[in-house]
Structures are given as structure tokens and as C-alpha cells.
């Protein structure tokens, strides 16, 4: 096993830095330390836990720009988006912690019976590279507020920015309640198999299946978001300008490397010509380049494997008869230019797999039942969107997804869960119900 994990700038292929890989014996010590820290952290009153966590995240403010730049160097997103992500982490932490605390207060349900929400123990947080701080913090904060301690394994693609954040937080947090480990797939598997009580994971469906298998012998709690293949239906009575703008923005955001990115668009044949033309026109205005280039909208793919996956999906579609309205016939690593492809069919990878790249994939339909059927024909069910006028809400009701929206993006607000249906999720986070999944429910009758 390699001794260090090197972080590579995807735009230049230069080494940004490296971290030491956590060995199996070190992981054992870290789990032991977590067990000891849990004994005291669980005794800290809820309000004091919130105060300590909030102060720790507020301490990140002087590091704002440095964290954002490091994030961009590690995974390629433009600096504006990185600055926005770090801002959300720093300034949103207090609100998140307060929301979790409110959900975990004891609740008198009548008579002498109280519902309590108690700490579970050690939470293993395993997070992805596409939003390397935000996705981690969305799991770390509810874990810590609930009185759990956290062992955090960031993606091997973005270890540096995670390491720097944790080091800064630990200047203010009690010793041992937030520890970080570094490594690849094998370390993640060892962490899941270790003496932890809860695994909070965001990543691929394949990894989620493996986690469930490894956690099953200990009946460990699981909260997992496992990706999506989000459909968008554009009805004949839709506002074409709004629908086209959303299709492009949702497909290209974060270079398409987003779990609720629009992966496939089904448009009514009556308006398809106008819709496709406008999509191509909007998409052509996007600029490709490295994170520090002005006005960049689309950065490099995070690594060569992801680049090859997106390229293979495009090549597969073209070989099977799809039409390229916008995009290069040959893509040069590490960039995929803004791409618009029409006439996709169910046998194409663009339709039946998660592409995770800057591609708008469009198919036409003759009747709405056909569109609904194709939208639902997926093992995934994270998000789904309908653009239309009268009847759009009825179509939305028939879509099989954890989050569905009409004429807007999914994810309604702070008081709603981030939840997937089918194989896009197991458990969920956010909202009162989601926050309580990080705690042990106890019914106390006096």
C-alpha cells in the first residue's frame, strides 16, 4: 500500500500536495480514541455542543479564500463556485447546528411519556469529491450536534482541503470528537468494518451496496445518498426560454459533476425544434478552462477515469444514431466542452447510466405517458423536474423520485429532507426527520 496520497490538479496534472495514508493499526487507534472522546462528548449539554461547533466553524473565516483556492486546485471547479461552497460551510454552520438541536430536543408526547434523541456513538462520515467540504459538513454537523463523535474519510481526490478544514476546526473542538483518515477504497472498507455505530455516506450506488454488505454483520445504522440519473420533462405548454435555461444550467453546473444534475431531457415533439435550438444557443455561451481563468463556467473533469466515462457515453450515443447539436467530435483530456446531444434512445448509456459530465441529452416524445414511462425507467430516483403549464403538477405526481419539482430545481428548502427514492438513497439527511436519524430514539415513560 502506498504511504502517501497525492492530490493532482486536474487542469495541469501537477501535484498539489500529499497526505499520509492512514494505516490499519492507526485506524484502530483512531477508533479507540473516538470511543474515549465519546464518553465525555455525549455528556455535554445540547446547547453547549452547538456553541462549541458554531465557534469552530466561525474560526474558518480567515481561511475562506485559501480553502476555496485549494478546493479549486484539487478538483477543478472555478474559484467563484469554490468560494460559494466555502461560504456556505462557514456561514451556514450556525443555522444548521441550531436546526439539528431543535429537532433533537426532548419531546413530550402526552402524559408522562417523553421522546428522547440520544447519541449513537461513533459516526463514520465518508464524503465525495464533487463538493468536498459541503457534502462532508452536511453529515458532520448533525453527527456532532447529536452527541456523536466523527471519523471522517474524505475522497482521495480531495484530501488536502478536507485535511486543512479539520485541522482548523480541531483548534476549537474538544480533542478526539472529529478525526480524519486518508486512503482509498480499502481504507473506506476497513472503516466501515471497524467498531463504528453509524455510517453516513455520499457516493456511488456500487459503493453503497458494498457498505451495506460490510455493515450488515453489525447491523450498523446507515444514511446513504447514492447518486442519480435525474430526468426532466418539458411539456408542450412549457415556457421554452425558462426550460432551456434550466436544462443547460442544471446539466452543466459543477461541470455536470452534481448528484441532481439533469441527466436526460424528454421534450414534447411539438416544441422540440425550438427548445433544442435554444438549448444549443445557451450552451454555446459557456466557457471551458482552468479554475483561475476569468469567466470560466466549465472546468476540467476531476480525473482521467471520469473523463473517459463521459467520453464513452458521448461516443456510444453517436455510434447508435444520436445527433450532436453542440460539442467537439474529439474531446481532449481533461476537458469536455459544452455538449448538446439529441435523439437519445433507451439503449444509450446517456439515458440509462449517470454520466456526470457537461452534457445535455435530449429525446423527443409524442405523448406524455411515454415521457413519464421513460423518466421512471431507472434504478435511480433522486430528483426529477417537470417544466410546463396546466397539467405539470399531475405529471410531477407520477414521477418516481425522492425530490420532484415543477418549473424549478429540486430541494425545496432547509426544512425539507434531501432524500432519494429507489436505489438513490438509504435513509436521508436534513429536516427534523433527517436530523433524528443521527440519534437513538428513546421513549421514556415516567
**What residues are annotated to the active site?**
225, 259
CA separation for the pair 443, 446 (Å, rounded): 10
CA separation for the pair 181, 187 (Å, rounded): 8
Helix H or strand E encompassing 431: helix 431-435
CA separation for the pair 421, 100 (Å, rounded): 23
CA separation for the pair 209, 215 (Å, rounded): 10
CA separation for the pair 271, 349 (Å, rounded): 25
CA separation for the pair 174, 430 (Å, rounded): 25
Helix H, strand E, coil C: the string for 80-117 is HHHHHHHHHHHHHHHHHHHHHHHHHCCEEEECCEEEEE
Which DSSP letter does residue 322 get?
Answer: -
CA 377 to chain centre: 22
Beta strand 425-426 pairing with 403-406: unpaired
Sign of the dihedral through C-alpha 372, 374, 376, 381: negative
CA separation for the pair 198, 200 (Å, rounded): 6
Amino acid at each position: 500500500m502506498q504511504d502517501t496520497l497525492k492530490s493532482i490538479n486536474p487542469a495541469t496534472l501537477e501535484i498539489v500536495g500529499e497526505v499520509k495514508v492512514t494505516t490499519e493499526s492507526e485506524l484502530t487507534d483512531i477508533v479507540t480514541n473516538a470511543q474515549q472522546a465519546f464518553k465525555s462528548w455525549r455528556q455535554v449539554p445540547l446547547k453547549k455542543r452547538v456553541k462549541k461547533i458554531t465557534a469552530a466553524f466561525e474560526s474558518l473565516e480567515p481561511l475562506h479564500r485559501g480553502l476555496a483556492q485549494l478546493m479549486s486546485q484539487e478538483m477543478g471547479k472555478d474559484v467563484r463556485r469554490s468560494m460559494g461552497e466555502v461560504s456556505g460551510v462557514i456561514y451556514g454552520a450556525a443555522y444548521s447546528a441550531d436546526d439539528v438541536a431543535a429537532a433533537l430536543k426532548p419531546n413530550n408526547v402526552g402524559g408522562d411519556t417523553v421522546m428522547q434523541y440520544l447519541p449513537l456513538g461513533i459516526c463514520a462520515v465518508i464524503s465525495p469529491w464533487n463538493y468536498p467540504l459541503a457534502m462532508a459538513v452536511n453529515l458532520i454537523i448533525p453527527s456532532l450536534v447529536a452527541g456523536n463523535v466523527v471519523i471522517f474519510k474524505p475522497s482521495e481526490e480531495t484530501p488536502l482541503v478536507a485535511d486543512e478544514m479539520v485541522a482548523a476546526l480541531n483548534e476549537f473542538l474538544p480533542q478526539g470528537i472529529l478525526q480524519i483518515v486518508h486512503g482509498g477504497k480499502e481504507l473506506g472498507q476497513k472503516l466501515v468494518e471497524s467498531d463504528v455505530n453509524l455510517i453516513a455516506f455520499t457516493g456511488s450506488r456500487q459503493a453503497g451496496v458494498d457498505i451495506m454488505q460490510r455493515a450488515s454483520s453489525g447491523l450498523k445504522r446507515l444514511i446513504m445518498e447514492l447518486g442519480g440519473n435525474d430526468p426532466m420533462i418539458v411539456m408542450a405548454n412549457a415556457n421554452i426560454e425558462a426550460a432551456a435555461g434550466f436544462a443547460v444550467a442544471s446539466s452543466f453546473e459543477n461541470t455536470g459533476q452534481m448528484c441532481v444534475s439533469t441527466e436526460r431531457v424528454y421534450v414534447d415533439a411539438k416544441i422540440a425544434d425550438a427548445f433544442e435550438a435554444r438549448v444549443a444557443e445557451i450552451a454555446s455561451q459557456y466557457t471551458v478552462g482552468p479554475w483561475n481563468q476569468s469567466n470560466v463556467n466549465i472546468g476540467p473533469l476531476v480525473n482521467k477515469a471520469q473523463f473517459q466515462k463521459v467520453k464513452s457515453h458521448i461516443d456510444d450515443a453517436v455510434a447508435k444514431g444520436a445527433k450532436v447539436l453542440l460539442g467537439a467530435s474529439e474531446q481532449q483530456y481533461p476537458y469536455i466542452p459544452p455538449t448538446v446531444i439529441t435523439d437519445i434512445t433507451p439503449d444509450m448509456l446517456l439515458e440509462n447510466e449517470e454520466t456526470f459530465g457537461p452534457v445535455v441529452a435530449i429525446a423527443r416524445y409524442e405523448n406524455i405517458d411515454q415521457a413519464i414511462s421513460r423518466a421512471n425507467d431507472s434504478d435511480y430516483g433522486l430528483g426529477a423536474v417537470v417544466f410546463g403549464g396546466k397539467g405539470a403538477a399531475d405529471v410531477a405526481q407520477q414521477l418516481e423520485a425522492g425530490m420532484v419539482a415543477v418549473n424549478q430545481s429540486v430541494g425545496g428548502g432547509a426544512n425539507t429532507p434531501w432524500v432519494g427514492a429507489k436505489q438513490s438513497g438509504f435513509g436521508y439527511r436534513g429536516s427534523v426527520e433527517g436530523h433524528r436519524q443521527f440519534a437513538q430514539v428513546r421513549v421514556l415513560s415516567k
